[in-house]
């Protein structure tokens, strides 16, 4: 059966991997900085930092924004649990936004209706690599002075108005490089900032709040004059993970091209079908086609039929507003309709769609 996800790994990396393992330099260093440089060039951004995992990246974002226990954030329940679990860890109040039942993307009007004086951030998830209404959500954030965070956990390399996500005018963007993503660093991620001040704050938070330029004295001892003023995490990505990321970035355009070609084939196959159709794509956007999204009249039967034909099909995620950890089991009409019909099928680099 053709899998819905598959980890990519470049060939012939063993020699350098062995070299890194015995180099005495395993923590963040030259490979880490090189990886960030490649990410900057690809995304088209200036302020980007790599992190050891997507979860750590989200925690860094929450700390950088100064979010505190009880603060409200608006988020989509149509997303990976990994996107929303950090809110529970931080003790934030999650206000769920409804979605467009044809696209799975946050409804701008609904987001606007949920803004209060306690709203501190809007987390805009781009479900399975399909981008939402970026300009509209960003405009709402700007109008109310609320930061908008593009949650690109599954959307690295997706495009909006010809630009990669991370370079579309949003305040902050978070990416995952976990095993089934492109690129994958086995585990890892990245954060993009539009604002240099927030970026510089996040650099400290990524490394326990330490300013490494003054952390040690000339004789190598910890400098007592280097004060730690903010909370921080062990968020630095290793040299091994960074090297794998570098090698993956060398191949990413080719891999994305295969996924796009596979999607074109699916588009034609679903043009004249009554029982299912392709997921609607928001205006001026191009998904990364991590998966290919469909809407099926009978989801259970469609998944069964796809699997019988040799294609692994799945709903991917369950809407997060059903989980009691978020203490907000709200009824959302668009969310329920979308989840009732959404089915993802393979579109990845690992197969030739004919």
Q: What angle do CA 108, 177, 295 make, to 5 degrees?
A: 45
Q: Is residue 73, in this structure, part of any structural domain at all?
A: yes
Arithmetic mean of pLDDT, 102-112? 97
**Residue 273 pLDDT > 90:** no
Q: Specify if 354 maps to a domain.
A: no
Statement to judge: residues 218 and 231 lie in one domain: yes
Question: Is the residue at 2 inside a domain?
Answer: no
Per-residue pLDDT of 135-171, as tens digits, reads: 999 999 999 999 999 999 999 999 999 999 999 999 9
Structural element, H or E, at residue 93: strand 93-96
Do residues 203 and 82 both lie within one domain? yes
Query: Total domain count for the chain?
Result: 2
pLDDT in tens, 165-201: 999 999 999 999 999 999 999 999 999 999 999 999 9
**Residue 21's CATH number:** 3.40.640.10
pLDDT digits (tens, 9 = 90+) for 323-338: 999 999 999 999 999 9
Query: Is pLDDT at 3 greater than 90 in this prediction?
Result: yes
Question: Could you tell me if 235 and 263 lie in one domain?
Answer: no
Integer angstrom CA distances of residue 219 from 215, 240, 324? 12, 29, 53
The verdict on 300 and 198 lying in the same domain is no
What pLDDT shows up at residue 272? 82
pLDDT given at position 2: 97
pLDDT above 90 (res 99): yes
Shared domain check, 329 and 204: no
One domain, residues 225 and 266: no
**34 lies in the same domain as 75:** yes
Q: At which of 226, 251, 276 does a domain end?
A: 251
Kindly state whether residue 183 falls inside one of the protein's structural domains: yes
Q: What is the CATH number of the domain that holds 338?
A: 3.90.1150.10
| Neighbouring residues of 221: CB distance < 8 A, sequence distance ≥ 6 | none
Domain extent, residue 81, equals: 14-97+104-251
| pLDDT tens figures, 79-95 | 999 999 999 999 999 99
164 neighbors 173 (Cβ within 8 angstroms): no
308 SS3 class: helix
Residues 144 and 285 in one domain: no
Measured N-to-C along each axis, helices 14-21 and 239-269 cross at an angle, to the nearest 10 degrees, of 150
- Res 354 pLDDT > 90: no
**Predicted confidence (pLDDT) per residue in 281-296, tens digit:** 999 999 999 999 999 9
pLDDT at 313 over 90: yes
Of 216, 231, 251, the residue that ends a domain is: 251
Of 121-125, 138-142, 274-278, 290-294, the range with the lowest mean pLDDT is 274-278
Mean pLDDT estimate for the chain: 97
pLDDT greater than 90 at residue 274:
no
Domain final residue, candidates 227, 251, 275: 251
Cβ partners under 8 Å of residue 72, min gap 6: 92, 93, 94, 95, 116, 118, 119, 120
Do 85 and 173 belong together in one domain? yes
In a domain, 256, yes or no: yes
Report if residue 321 sits inside a domain.
yes
| 46 and 147 assigned to the same domain | yes
Q: What is the value of pTM for the model shown?
A: 0.96
* Same domain assignment for residues 282 and 217: no
238-258 pLDDT tens trace = 999 999 999 999 999 999 999
Is 195 a member of any domain?
A: yes
Beta-carbon contacts of residue 41 (< 8 Å; ≥ 6 apart): none
Answer whether residue 316 shows pLDDT above 90. Answer: yes
Q: What distance, in Å, lies between the first and last C-alpha atoms of the chain?
A: 15
The answer to whether residue 353 is domain-embedded is no
pLDDT at residue 310 is higher than 90: yes
One domain for residues 245 and 287: no
């Amino acid at each position: 059966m053709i899998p819905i996800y598959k980890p990519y790994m470049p060939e012939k990396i063993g020699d350098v991997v062995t070299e890194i393992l015995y180099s005495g330099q395993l923590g963040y260093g030259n490979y880490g900085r090189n990886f960030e440089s490649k990410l900057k060039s690809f995304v088209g951004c200036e302020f980007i930092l790599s992190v050891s995992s997507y979860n750590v990246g989200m925690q860094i974002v929450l700390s950088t924004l100064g979010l505190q226990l009880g603060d409200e954030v608006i988020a989509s329940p149509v997303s990976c649990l990994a996107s929303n679990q950090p809110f529970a860890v931080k003790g934030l109040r999650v206000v769920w936004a409804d979605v467009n039942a044809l696209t799975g993307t946050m409804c701008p009007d609904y987001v606007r209706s949920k803004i209060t004086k306690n709203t501190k951030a809007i987390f805009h998830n781009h479900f399975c690599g399909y981008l939402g209404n970026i300009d509209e959500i960003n405009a709402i954030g700007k109008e109310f002075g609320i930061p908008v965070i593009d949650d690109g956990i599954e959307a690295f390399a997706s495009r909006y108005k010809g630009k990669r996500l991370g370079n579309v005018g949003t305040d902050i963007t978070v990416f995952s490089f976990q095993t089934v993503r492109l690129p994958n660093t086995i585990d890892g991620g990245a954060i993009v900032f539009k604002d240099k001040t927030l970026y510089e704050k996040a650099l400290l938070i990524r490394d326990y709040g330490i300013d490494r330029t003054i952390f040690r004295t000339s004789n190598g001892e910890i400098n007592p004059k280097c004060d730690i003023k903010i909370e921080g995490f062990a968020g630095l990505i290793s040299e091994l993970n960074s090297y794998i990321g570098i090698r993956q970035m060398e191949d990413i355009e080719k891999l994305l091209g295969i996924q796009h070609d596979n999607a074109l084939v699916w588009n034609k196959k679903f043009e004249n079908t009554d029982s299912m159709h392709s997921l609607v794509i928001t205006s001026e956007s191009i998904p990364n086609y991590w998966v290919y999204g469909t809407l099926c009249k009978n989801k259970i039967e469609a998944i069964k039929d796809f699997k019988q034909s040799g294609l692994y099909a799945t709903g991917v995620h369950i809407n997060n507003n059903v989980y009691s950890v978020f203490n907000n089991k709200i009824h959302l009409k668009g969310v329920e309709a979308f989840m009732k019909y959404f089915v993802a099928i393979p579109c990845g680099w690992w197969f030739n769609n004919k």
